[in-house]
Amino acid sequence: MDMSEINLSLDYASVRGELLHNQPMKNYTSWRAGGSAERIFLPADLDDFAAFLRALPGNEPVYVVGLGSNLLVRDGGVRGSVVVLHARLNDLRLEQSDAGEMLIYAGAGVACAKVARFAALQGLGRAEFLAGIPGTVGGALAMNAGCYGAETWDIVSSVQTMDRSGGVRRRSSGNYEIGYRHVALRGEGSTGSQKAGGIENVPDDSLGGEWFSGAWFALPRDDAASVRQKIKELLARRIQSQPLNLPNAGSVFRNPENDKAARLIEACGLKGFRIGGAMVSPQHANFIVNTGGATASDIEAAIAAVRETVKKQTGMELKQEVRIIGTPARSGLRVSRAAYRKDGGYGG
């Protein structure tokens, strides 16, 4: 690894991970689209992640991703460093608290489905829904991911975080404001709150922001066979209702209060709507799929068009769930109405 290609401000002899340059982010996102990152770092472990952050110049933009399952990187790429945690911060173990509570610790890079399976093997319940979340623990924590009536922070006891200077701390769930697809660190010594720097996001304050590096989940004892059956049923529902055969980023929009984004999009006749290689899934209207060769510009334009159409026809403003980072390609977004077309095979 040639670490001389990056202007490290501190001694980097202890950095042990893999550093790559000018790598296409489509290889690290579930949409399989997007431009290149200046640098991608795959840490060997938590200490290596901290060492890398400490070695970076203070003004270096840093993005942290897991499976990239809730992320779109624009075609112009990303300036700065992208840290990929999937399968890197992958500790997964059973612990017991001083009060006798059963806990599962999972690193931020562990796939959510793996946590669900591990909990089932231990005869622990309430984590079954994680099998339906196509991302890592870090991403699930950052956005309070959920499905089938359950959310990540329902089972969080405490979390481990990493700040921009490489400092690690443990915080209880009570340190955070939790809502629907929302997590915010409560203000310390002040009123209000501040956003926690999430996985697949940049901390609002590049000096004081934090990323989630792991979590302890408090889970009750349950019948192992029953837990496995719940996971099996949940996965069957997911296979039946979601377009898992094509690259996608899960739900694109948040559900409005007392309604469903998919219902609104379908009601507007947008199933099968497409721009370039990006298409609103005929199977699930809140999914935009890459039918082959879609650019990030195609996908972003499709997102904008869906939002605009739903707003015009229903008056409802859909809020985006996926994160978009990076710089547009020089040609700009392909958003002209002439570029829009509907796949004739899929009616509204």
Tokens 């893999």 -> residue: 18
Give every CB contact of residue 302 below 8 A, 6+ residues apart in sequence: 273, 274, 275, 278, 279, 280, 288
Candidate list 251, 281, 300, 307, residue with the active-site label: 251
251 is catalytic: yes
Give every CB contact of residue 265 below 8 A, 6+ residues apart in sequence: 253, 271, 280, 285, 286, 306, 310, 318
Contact 161, 259 (CB under 8 A): no
CA 92, CA 152: separation in Å to the nearest integer? 16
Distances (CA, A) of 13 to 19, 50, 162, 171, 343: 13, 13, 20, 30, 55
Candidate list 30, 210, 321, 334, residue with the active-site label: 321
Candidate list 171, 181, 228, 254, residue with the active-site label: 181
Strands (E), 102-255: 102-107, 146-147, 150-151, 156-163, 168-172, 176-179, 182-186, 193-195, 210-218
Give every CB contact of residue 254 below 8 A, 6+ residues apart in sequence: 180, 181, 261, 318, 319, 320, 321
181 is catalytic: yes
In the sheet where 36-42 sits, what is the strand order? 18-24, 36-42, 78-84, 62-65
**Active site amino acids:** 181, 251, 321
